[in-house]
Structure 1
């Protein structure tokens, strides 16, 4: 394979990676819109920001999906734990805003 051909293939892969990264950002933005709505609902009804039982089910579900997708399940767990922490932070902020307005 010539270096020119390798550069063309590399550019193709990088273009795909860039597209996937953009899709991930948009998907995460949409996910956070949903979880923020959940946070507002929880705050309105005095529900706790965190739901440890659901979080554990989600972690187990995503680890199983990772295995099916040939992705490291520990990476999947680290990723979802990061997302959960961010969602809880949003929910706590929303709950605090609700208590300050009351």
Structure 2
């Protein structure tokens, strides 16, 4: 966990932000690989890309984690909304469009 109170200079802050950005990008790349596999599994199992119950469960979980870590849950929800929509669109390239509950 980052202790921002120990940052003394703007240069230090920027260096830490850049390092965190690199970690975030690496984790997003990992998530994208998993979503690619999920699309294959959904195709095999005859499932749609958009599963509304799962979307809501993920958003709810993310908001709860945000609260627990002191992050604004509205920010977390907005970020995950965009990410989820992007990944659903990627899955739809494999599966086609269509909803399933």
TM-score after normalising by structure 2: 0.83
Which 5+ residue runs of structure 1 have no aligned equivalent?
Answer: 1-7, 97-102
Shift of 1:18: 0.3
Asked if 1:72 is matched to 2:81, the reply is no
Shift of 1:35: 0.6
Shift of 1:68: 1.0
Aligned to 2:52: 52
Higher radius of gyration, 1 or 2: 1
TM-score after normalising by structure 1: 0.82
Asked if 1:24 is matched to 2:24, the reply is yes
Give the ranges of 4+ consecutive aligned residues of structure 1 lying more than 4 Å apart after TM superposition. none
Which 5+ residue runs of structure 2 have no aligned equivalent?
Answer: 1-7, 97-101
Deviation readout 1:11-52 (Å, 9 max, x if unpaired): 111000000001100100000100110011111222111111
Structure having the higher helix fraction is 1
CA distance in 2, matches of 1:70, 1:45: 38
CA distance in 1, matches of 2:22, 2:62: 21
What is the count of residue pairs matched by the alignment?
89
Deviation readout 1:34-89 (Å, 9 max, x if unpaired): 01100111112221111110111111111011111111111111011111101100
